[in-house]
Structures are given as structure tokens and as C-alpha cells.
Amino acid sequence: DAGVTQSPTHLIKTRGQQVTLRCSPKSGHDTVSWYQQALGQGPQFIFQYYEEEERQRGNFPDRFSGHQFPNYSSELNVNALLLGDSALYLCASASRVGNTIYFGEGSWLTVV
């Protein structure tokens, strides 16, 4: 058990809609990152949150936004969904005193 929990595990949305995915980091971890993994591809870094601020961002449009709460949990929001947003969305957590990133099982998003 990785200790990083994500919800929901699967969801289907219609093009143009908005989606919110949630992540609880492993106990003791205070930084959360989000990745998009399209079918047959490696995970792509979306952004990372620490102390409730976005610290680094990958090459994703502004339709992708996030939030980190005081309890370190995080949300990923995607607006104006496109068919190409269909993917597995992974949450990863780490602690500032450690050097290992732990991944959750992901949320499968299908856009129809």
C-alpha cells in the first residue's frame, strides 16, 4: 500500500465539462505533485504543490489548476474538458526530509 489515496478511481465526463480529482498524501508527506499518464505513455508532470502554493508547473494549459489544503491534501481541476484529456491522473507525494516520491493508484478519466 503506497499510502497515497486518490478519488474517484474512475469517472466519465462529457467534453466541455469540468472535473475535480482529489488526493490525500502519504502520512508525514507535505508536498503533492500531479501527473497525467495517457495510454501507452509515461506519466507527464502537471504541477507540484507545497505549503499551499504551486511551486513548479509542466507544459499544461491553464485549464489545469490545483489546490493544496492546510492538511496537505490536494485537488486537481480540469476545465473545458477535451477528448484528449482522457488519461490516468496520478498523484504523488513526498516529504521535504525524504527523497522518495510515492504514487497513488490514480484516477481514470474518460472524456466522451
Q: What share of the chain is helix, strand, coil (3-state, %, to 5)?
A: 5, 50, 45
Nearer to other proteins, 36 or 81 (CB): 36
Among 25, 64, 66, 104, binds other proteins (CB under 8 A): 104
Residue 33, CA atoms < 13 Å, CB-side half-sphere? 21
Q: Which is nearer to other proteins, 46 or 81 (CB)?
A: 46
Q: 48 near 54, Cβ under 8 Å?
A: yes
Q: In whole angstroms, how close is the CB of 28 to other proteins at the nearest point?
A: 13
Helix boundaries (H) for 11-63: none
Single out the segment in contact with other proteins by CB under 8 A; choices: 13-21, 43-51, 68-76, 78-86: 43-51
Closer CB to other proteins, 25 or 81, in the complex: 25
31: enclosing H helix or E strand:
strand 31-37
- Is residue 45 near other proteins by the rule CB under 8 A? yes
Distance in angstroms (rounded) separating the CA atoms of residues 74 and 21 = 8
By the criterion CB under 8 A, which residues form the site for other proteins? Answer: 2, 4, 30-31, 33, 35, 40-45, 48, 50-51, 55-56, 58, 90, 92, 94-96, 99-106
